[in-house]
Structure 1
Amino acid sequence: MPLRATALVCSLKPSPARSSSQLLAQQLLDELATHDVTGELVRVVDHDVRPGVEKDMGDGDEWPAIREKVVAADILVIVTPTWMGHPSSVCQRVLERLDAELSETDAAGRPAMFGKVAVAAVVGNEDGAHKIVADLFQALNDTGFSIPAQGCTYWNGEAMQTVDYQDLDETPDAVSSATSTAARNAAHLAALLAKDQYPAGS
Structure 2
Amino acid sequence: MPNGFADLSAVFLNCSLERDPARSHTRRLIERAAGVMRSEGVSVEVLHLLEHEIPAGMHKDLTELGVERDDWPAIQRTILDADILVIGTPIWLGVKSSVATLAIERLYAYSGDRNEQGQYVYYGRTAGCVVTGNEDGAKGVAMEVLYALQHIGYVVPPQADCAWLGEAGPGPSYGDVVDGEDLPTGYGNDFTNRNTTIMAWNLMHAAKLLRDAGGFPALGNQPDRWRDVANATQTDPG
State which of 88, 93, 106 in structure 2 corresponds to 1:97.
Answer: 106
- Provide the residue aligned with 1:153 in structure 2: 162
Question: SS in structure 2 opposite 1:154?
Answer: strand
Does 2:179 match 1:174? no
Code of the residue aligned with 2:190 in structure 1: it is: D
Does 2:128 match 1:119? yes
Question: Cα distance, 1:141 vs. partner?
Answer: 0.5
Question: Cα distance, 1:56 vs. partner?
Answer: 1.0
Question: SS in structure 2 opposite 1:70?
Answer: helix
- Provide the residue aligned with 1:35 in structure 2: 40
Counterpart-to-counterpart distance in 2, 1:91 and 1:20: 15
Does 2:201 match 1:187? no
* Deviates further, 17-26 or 113-122: 17-26
Equivalent pairs, count: 202
| RMSD, aligned α-carbons | 1.3
* Bigger Rg, which one: 2
- Provide the residue aligned with 2:230 in structure 1: none
Partners of 2:122 and 2:152 within 8 A in 1: yes
Question: Cα distance, 1:18 vs. partner?
Answer: 1.1
Code of the residue aligned with 1:71 in structure 2: it is: L
Partners of 2:21 and 2:27 within 8 A in 1: no
Code of the residue aligned with 1:32 in structure 2: it is: M
Counterpart-to-counterpart distance in 1, 2:81 and 2:73: 12
Counterpart-to-counterpart distance in 2, 1:16 and 1:183: 21
Code of the residue aligned with 2:203 in structure 1: it is: A
Code of the residue aligned with 1:61 in structure 2: it is: D
Q: Structure 1, residues 117-161: CA drift from partner, whole Å, max 9, x if none?
A: 101010000000000000001100111111111011000110113
Structure 1 segments unaligned to the other structure (5+ residues): none
Counterpart-to-counterpart distance in 2, 1:192 and 1:167: 37
Percent identical:
35
Q: Structure 1, residues 29-58: CA drift from partner, whole Å, max 9, x if none?
A: 101123321100000011110101222111
Question: SS in structure 2 opposite 1:98?
Answer: helix
- Provide the residue aligned with 2:147 in structure 1: 138
